Copies of this chain bind each other. A is one copy, B any other.
Amino acid sequence: MSDDLKRKRSGGRTGNARRAGGQAISQMSWRIPVNPDRPIEPMGPEGVEAIHKGAMRILKDIGIRFLNDEALGLFAQAGCRVEGQTVRMDEDFVMEMVARAPAEFTITPRNPDRILPMGGKHILFGNVSSPPNYWDLERGKVSGFMDGFRDFIKLTQYFNCIHFAGGYPVEPIDIHPSVRHLDCVYEKLVLTDKVVHAYSLGKERVEDAMEMVRIAGGLSHEEFRATPRMFTNINSVSPLKHDFPMIDGALRLARAGQAVIVTPFTLAGAMAPVTMAGAVTLSIAEALAAIALIQYVAPGAPVMIGTFTSNVDMKSGAPAFGTPEYMRATQMTGQMARFYGLPLRSSGVCAANIPDGQAMWETSNSLWAAVQSGTNLVYHAAGWLEGGLIASPEKFIMDCEVLQMIQRYMEPEVWATTPEDIAIGTIAEVGPDGHYFGCQHTQDRYTTAFYQPFVSDWRNFEAWQIDGAVWTPERAHRIFRAIMAEFEAPPMDPGVHEELSAFVARRKAEGGAPTDF
């Protein structure tokens, strides 16, 4: 354990007075990264056209099944062919609807300084969402629980490289499903001041979440609806289906002016063709069908297209993530998103069960694919393990190191070529016999010249060994504990807090949400 960390941890043990002055790590400041790289585009224009035409054929000839009567009625009203639950739509309709979607929009959370620009060259990161299980070095794998949920939300708030609070970082199964959304959204809104997500899991949950976001922001109903304040993410039920609650939630948010991400879950070889182009084509068709519906109902509603195309392990059928095929599918979907003028969501994902080397090469692959694809919003960017079945605080900490490096990678000063950067005068001054440690050019810049890690250990082997030979996951675990010891929730107006608590209490008294759908 490093001296710094020892100091902080003993601070944590001796009480609040010292803890308040402590800092578990030195991290990057909050920033909105701008991705300066030209996207990697594996397909030529003919490939983009082939996938587009394929998606249009699926929508026109095969159709998408909507398990939602309201959606069926709306499509019929729009002139689409509705047979049973299957909707078929023409390219003209789809493209007219998609053209209504904004290329860029913002989402403003309760702290307006945390406003997020969605689209363009921006890339934003969020916490792992939805694992049923929790794993850490102390506990091993356990079912999700509310204290663990809370810890992840604290990490989400703590790290400046995490821009938004996605879905539940772990499912707290110790809270009854009828009121779980009330407790979870409450914790998210109190423990963070960042943009939050709400699950589309039925009318009551969606309406409760919107009302809670409105209250937490101290907003009137009109103010809430005037600009996006939150978002949901819906998945299609691949192949070729959208289910009731997801579409219901998407419509509710869109009508309330809130943002919707549509992310088909097209695992090649399982719910989608074994070929990446086939899986991407299916994904695009499913996503555009829902986006067309949203834009029909709420023209100009803020939407994003999501990709979750990966492949399965053909030996076991298990999903694989961060594979070469995953990377190319993400890049291909990026090309399609730009073709349609839609912001793109992808993910930071892996198949590994524990935060080891495999976890990090798979996650690095998926995060670099996000960068290369021009992704605007990276879901699950920190904390994901076991194909999304486990959330891990150590993995969260480790991923944040990678995310900070990606943020630094995007800062133009790194590759600046002004005369002061080229530094011919300094090269002449140092000459062939000197070194650059002490020269003025270095002294003027050394505190900010390079990325400073917080979990990576750059000491040599002997220094690392004398200090306990601590491998990365254990270092991450210690940092996790230190952050928990010093965490302070962001300020919230007492009146707003009271109103929020009262709303939760009332809705709990009313029984929360039905749990039988």
- What residues of chain A have their CB less than 8 Å away from a CB belonging to chain B? 36-38, 40-43, 46-47, 50-51, 54, 57-58, 61-62, 64-65, 86, 133, 135, 141, 239-241, 268-278, 281-282, 311-318, 320, 323-325, 327-328, 331-332, 351-365, 368, 386-387, 389-390, 398, 401-402, 405-406, 408-409, 411-412, 414-424, 426-428, 430-432, 434-437, 441-442, 445-447, 449-452, 455-461, 464-465, 469, 471-473, 476
Contacts and interface: CB of A to CB of B under 8 A. Distances in A.
A441 B361 contact: no
B427 A50 contact: no
A39 to B, nearest CB: 10
A405 B424 CA distance: 41
Contact of A417 (B51, B312, B386): B51
Contact of A446 (B314, B364, B389, B447): B314
6 contacts: A42-B412, A269-B450, A270-B437, A272-B436, A328-B409, A358-B360
A414 B451 contact: no
A239 B432 contact: yes
Contacts of A50: 417-419, 422
A431 B239 CA distance: 7
A476 B357 CA distance: 10
Contact of A472 (B276, B313, B358, B469): B358
Most chain B CB inside 10 Å of its own CB: which residue of A356, A417, A424, A447 = A417
A417 B46 contact: yes
A405 B365 contact: yes
A427 to B, nearest CB: 6
Given A269-B436, A269-B450, A434-B239, A427 B460 contact: no
B277 A450 contact: no
Contact of A416 (B38, B277, B368, B416): B277
B450 A239 contact: no
Given A324-B405, A325-B408, 13 more contacts: A37-B42, A38-B40, A43-B417, A51-B417, A270-B436, A275-B416, A318-B458, A320-B458, A325-B450, A327-B409, A358-B455, A364-B368, A386-B461
B457 A424 contact: no
Contact of A42 (B361, B415, B420, B442): B415
B314 A447 contact: yes
Most chain B CB inside 10 Å of its own CB: which residue of A54, A316, A389, A455 = A54
A456 to B, nearest CB: 5
A282 B427 contact: yes
A451 B324 contact: yes
A207 to B, nearest CB: 29
A405 B325 CA distance: 9
B62 A472 contact: no
Nearest to A41: B38
Contacts of A460: 318, 353, 386-387, 389
A354 B464 CA distance: 10
A414 B418 CA distance: 41
A102 to B, nearest CB: 28
Given A424-B54, A431-B240, A458-B316, A464 B43 contact: no
Contacts of A269: 436-437, 442, 446, 449-450
Given A353-B460, A357-B398, A278 B421 contact: yes
Contacts of A457: 351-353, 358
Contacts of A275: 416, 420-423, 441, 445, 449
Given A240-B431, A360-B361, A405-B365, A449 B268 contact: yes
B357 A473 contact: yes
A446 B412 CA distance: 43
A356 B471 contact: yes
B424 A361 contact: no
Contacts of A441: 273-275, 278
